[in-house]
A and B are shown apart, each in its own frame.
Chain A
Amino acid sequence: MNLARSLLAGTCLAGAMPMVHAKPIAFSHGTTVMAEYGAGTMTEAQVFYAPKYFYSLGGGYLELESDIDGKRREITYARANYLVKRWNMEAAQANVFTWGGVGQAYVSETNGHEFAWNAGAQADYETRRYYASIKTDLQVADTFTHRIDTLQLGIAPYKHDFDSLATWFVVQGRNYTGDVHEGIEWALLLRLFKKGAWVEAGVTDDGKLQAMAMVNF
């Protein structure tokens, strides 16, 4: 049900606008649409438009469902992303992003809605063969505080070029605070992208599906 709702949200976003390495900012006047299914504990859909290459504006829907006690949050938010610093090297690129936003959260324990805010940051480094990123995303309301920390390390079996299919093998480690999941959730992912379309899918150490799709246009 939750997966279906998330996919529906992603499809609606994609339909509303003709459809990044996962970056919250595409390029000047570019739009990014993303949907992620995180092993049943996290599902998220986002759409961002970048007026300039260093910031983007948009919103998203995040659902967290604890696999410890079943409590659930459904957070709808507006968010601004900002590129703090980018290093363009001859054969590599590194970035630091930050973001913040406000929204509304449905809380299953109270069966009510609360004001919620979020903030986060991401640092990444990539060449055409190696990729590393670390991201932290904080979600806060009166009833809860959750931080989702994600580490990704990727290796490409070959160097892709602008028009060719890129293939990456990615190891992901994710830690949730606030009793969403016990311990670090590890996942092995296969990432494919070509032109402005990106898909990745894999399995967690609990044998659950981890998947993401993204489009830049």
Chain B
Amino acid sequence: MKKTLLTTIFAALALLSGMANAKTIEMKVYGLVCGFCAQGIEKTLRKNPATADVVVSLEHQLVAIATREGQDIPDAELRKALTDSGYDVKGIARTERTLDVIRTEISQEKKK
């Protein structure tokens, strides 16, 4: 019983630690005007093994990626992925905002 409890606590700590190491990469992307044409962005980025989730916002010219715990995607790789999708990256930033927060903010703006 005690062993099970300890295992559970360690698993929870490991999960929290992993979440702390997870990163959000936010990219300012030019040319994002058509959702149909921008499908390649999501498709290409989700192929990357370091990608956990992707958000694309035409309104904000934003492509945001949540990376898997302890992983990152080099800027050169990000730029290549966006270029291969037909777009230009104007800026890349690592932020603390989760994709859920970004989704919520985008959703709230739409309601205004």
Contacts and interface: CB of A to CB of B under 8 A. Distances in A.
**Do A and B originate from a single complex?**
yes
Interface of A: 20-21, 23, 25-30, 52-53, 83, 86-93, 126-128, 159-164, 166, 193-198, 216-217
Contacts of A23: 37
Contacts, number: 101
A159 B60 CA distance: 12
Given A53-B83, A90-B61, A159-B59, A28 B40 contact: yes
B35 A91 contact: no
A161 B31 contact: no
B44 A161 contact: no
Given A20-B34, A93-B37, A162-B58, 16 more contacts: A20-B37, A21-B36, A28-B85, A28-B86, A87-B31, A88-B31, A88-B86, A89-B30, A93-B33, A128-B33, A128-B58, A160-B35, A160-B58, A162-B38, A193-B35, A195-B35
A14 to B, nearest CB: 16
B103 to A, nearest CB: 10
Contacts of A128: 33-34, 58
Contacts of B58: 128, 159-162
A28 B38 CA distance: 11
A97 to B, nearest CB: 12
Nearest to B58: A161
A193 B36 contact: yes
Contacts of A196: 36, 39
A54 B31 CA distance: 15
Contacts of B110: 161
Contacts of B34: 20-21, 93, 126, 128, 166
A89 B34 CA distance: 13
A88 B30 contact: yes
Most buried by A among B35, B44, B57, B58: B35
Contacts of B43: 27, 29-30
Nearest to B63: A162
B96 interface: no
A159 B30 CA distance: 16
A8 B36 CA distance: 24
A161 B59 contact: yes
A161 B85 contact: no
A40 B14 CA distance: 64
Contacts of A53: 40, 83-86
Nearest to A159: B59
A215 to B, nearest CB: 10
A30 B30 contact: no
Contact of A126 (B33, B85, B88): B33
22 contacts: A20-B37, A21-B34, A26-B37, A27-B37, A27-B43, A27-B44, A27-B86, A29-B43, A30-B40, A88-B30, A88-B87, A91-B61, A127-B33, A159-B59, A160-B35, A161-B57, A161-B59, A161-B110, A162-B35, A162-B42, A162-B58, A163-B35
